[in-house]
Amino acid sequence: MVILIKIKSKLLNDALCQYVESVSDIEILSESESIKSTPDIVVTDIHNLTEDLVNKYSKSKFLLLDTGIKNEDLVFCLIKYKLRGIFSYNFGIEQFIKALKVIAQGQTWISNNLVQALINREFGDENKIGKIKFTDKESEIIQYVCEGLSNKEIAKNLFISEQTVKSHLHKIFAKLDIKNRSQLIKLYIYNSR
């Protein structure tokens, strides 16, 4: 996997580049190298996230570093720039590497704090979207899906079988009239506007 890290703070940018290279097999491109080679993922912050940047690396996936941005602004950026993920500075390097791998596999990564805000906003105290009601277990599974966890990981976290997770997902998809995990995440992002 090849990534470009473009953060406003040169100190943080350089430190993150060096650390990622030292603890993983991820290749870091410099900006000058990225002219010749397209990164798989561009990691950026709100200060550098522009339409020009997104257009310049239109074949790359984007991961936004959340530096304490309001949830409404994060959701706006997620939709406007078609980001593949948002990662909070509050998490460690292991989670950051995991987020990159999840995104490289074509999945979406959204930090837990944003997922929780989206779920709370959508489900409210009565745990519903519009007239659709979800069980507590379904709500937990929705949260884990939005965090980028696989069925196996969700099953392990909830102490249930992988087949039970699939069964719950089938019920969730049926209630929402959707077909897959990506549509589930997009639905919650769309409804949060």
Question: What integer best gives the mean pLDDT of the chain?
Answer: 84
What is the rounded average pLDDT of the residues 114-131? 53
Rounded Cα distance, 30 and 4, in Å: 7
Q: How far apart are CA 26 and CA 18, in angstroms?
A: 11
In the predicted structure, residue 55 carries a pLDDT above the cut 70: yes
Domains of the chain and CATH, by start: 2-110 (3.40.50.2300), 114-191 (1.10.10.10)
Whether the full predicted model's pTM is greater than 0.85, yes or no, is no
Average pLDDT over residues 147-162: 92
pLDDT band at 117 (very low <50, low <70, confident <90, very high): low
Banded model confidence at residue 188, pLDDT cuts 50, 70, 90: low
Q: How far apart are CA 65 and CA 5, in angstroms?
A: 10
Kindly report which listed range (80-89, 133-142, 180-189) carries the lowest average pLDDT score.
180-189
Rounded Cα–Cα distance for residues 193 and 191 (Å): 6
Which residues, including other chains, have CB under 8 Å from residue 5's CB and lie 6 or more apart?
Answer: 13, 16, 17, 20, 28, 43, 44
Most confident among 77-86, 103-112, 118-127, 155-164 (mean pLDDT): 155-164
User: Concatenated DSSP letters for 106-157?
Assistant: T--EE-HHHHHHHHHHHHTTTTEETTEE--HHHHHHHHHHHTT--HHHHHHH
User: What number is the average pLDDT over the span 102-131?
Assistant: 66
- Report, as an integer, the average pLDDT of 45-52: 92
Residue 169 confidence class, pLDDT cut points 50, 70, 90: very high
- pLDDT of res. 190: 63
